[in-house]
């Protein structure tokens, strides 16, 4: 990563921050389980089912971000495309869940990561491998 330009390093940091933030958010929801049940008026089983689903999805997204970021650092152009596709799916999932402060932070992280991932300096850095 030492030879990577600043936009690449920023993009990598943002993708990994997104992965970590998503996991911390879902862990936080487990600690607020009672509050979730109180707000939704769901039974304990419904809340558990909801949180398990959120946890599975969060782990899948976090793992995808981590794996694809690693490939991106290895200068795989397909990883840049895949990160963008996964992040769009993630944003749709977030919009499906509804508005919350954590979801807005996640959306912001994703949007800024996409911007840095697709900057011209990043494209040049990826193209250098194909030229060698």
Taking only the tens place, the pLDDT of each residue in 16-65 is 999 999 999 999 999 999 999 999 999 999 999 999 999 999 999 999 99
Let me know if residue 30 belongs to a domain.
yes
Q: Is residue 92 in a domain?
A: yes
The CA-based angle 65-16-122, given to 5 degrees, is: 85
Domain count for the chain: 1
Quick: pLDDT tens for 105-123: 999 999 999 999 999 999 9
pTM: 0.92
Strand ranges, E, within the chain? none
Classify residue 31: in a domain, yes or no: yes
Element housing 37 (H / E): helix 33-40
Would you call 5 helix, strand, or coil by DSSP?
Answer: coil
Would you say residue 38 lies in a domain? yes
Q: Is residue 1 part of a domain?
A: no
pLDDT score of 90: 97
Is residue 69 in some structural domain?
A: yes
The parent domain of residue 76 ranges over 6-131
Is 120 inside any structural domain? yes
Q: Which residue has the higher pLDDT, 81 or 4?
A: 81
Tokens representing 79? 């990883």
Q: Is residue 45 part of a domain?
A: yes
């Amino acid at each position: 990563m030492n030879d990577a330009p600043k936009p690449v390093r920023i993009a990598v940091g943002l993708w990994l921050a997104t992965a970590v933030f998503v996991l911390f958010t879902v862990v936080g929801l487990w600690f607020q389980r009672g509050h979730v049940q109180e707000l939704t008026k769901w039974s304990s089983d419904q809340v558990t089912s909801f949180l398990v689903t959120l946890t599975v999805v969060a782990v899948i997204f976090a793992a995808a971000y981590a794996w694809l970021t690693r490939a991106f650092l290895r200068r795989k152009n397909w990883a840049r495309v895949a990160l963008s596709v996964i992040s769009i799916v993630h944003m749709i999932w977030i919009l499906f869940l509804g508005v919350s402060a954590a979801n807005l932070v996640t959306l912001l992280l994703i949007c800024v990561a996409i911007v840095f991932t697709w900057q011209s300096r990043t494209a040049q850095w990826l193209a250098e491998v194909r030229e060698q």
